[in-house]
Amino acid sequence: MADSGSIRINKYLSESGFCSRRMADQFIEEGRVTINDKIPDIGTKVMPSDVVKVDGKHVLEPRKEHVYIAFNKPPGIVCTTDTRSERNNIIDYIGFPERIFPIGRLDKASEGLIFLTSDGDIVNKILRAGNNHEKEYIVRVDKPLTDDFLHQMSDGVPILDTVTAKCEVEQFDEYDFSIILKQGMNRQIRRMCEHLGYDVLKLRRIRIMNIELDMPIGHWRYLSGSEMEEISRMTANSSKTFEEPD
């Protein structure tokens, strides 16, 4: 019979807002987590009276109310929680008074919509592939677009030992187009363009799932209750985790 009030250590760390469950498992495997000054196994459960630490620092009990933020990331800001070695990190830039971390990422040169949260459980739910979550981008390239380029971008491009899934692509003008992806691979859009002989000059994400970019660059806002209800509905089922495109 399970102990009343106990919770698995990785869930404890994610619900406390310290990190995602996936990262918690990594910390545990690396021996950086202790429960009452003893190194636990991944499946170890935490009781309310236990003292949990990561790298010797006390991790507070899981909070009941989590924070969900939409942020318009400027170019030059890095989507990392490493505030020691990365001066231009997203955490210091926002300066939120509680511990939060980004859901996915946009690379340093890219800009636009990204979510941040204190809820480690929701991270994988949003990032997992197989659930067809749409992400929409506006892209500017270094030379005029052609029908062949647009067709290949939408039909599939060979990168990273696979072929990208079919997607929606729409031309705006000579150099700009929009693209809606439902899969996620590392630097996917940039790699797709490079394969076809184009360099990306500007990449801006304008939508994630049901949330559209609606704030000035460098600004953030809380996600509303209705927005979070829709995200919860959309993430009810998921499968293997993939990296996010940018």
Active site residues: 107
The answer to whether the CB of 112 falls within 8 A of the CB of 204 is yes
162 to each of 130, 143, 221, 244, how far by Cα in Å?
A: 16, 26, 37, 16
> How far, in Å, CA of 207 to CA of 182, rounded?
12
Distance CA 19, CA 27 (A): 10
Helices assigned H by DSSP within the chain? 9-15, 21-29, 90-94, 120-127, 147-155, 188-195, 225-234
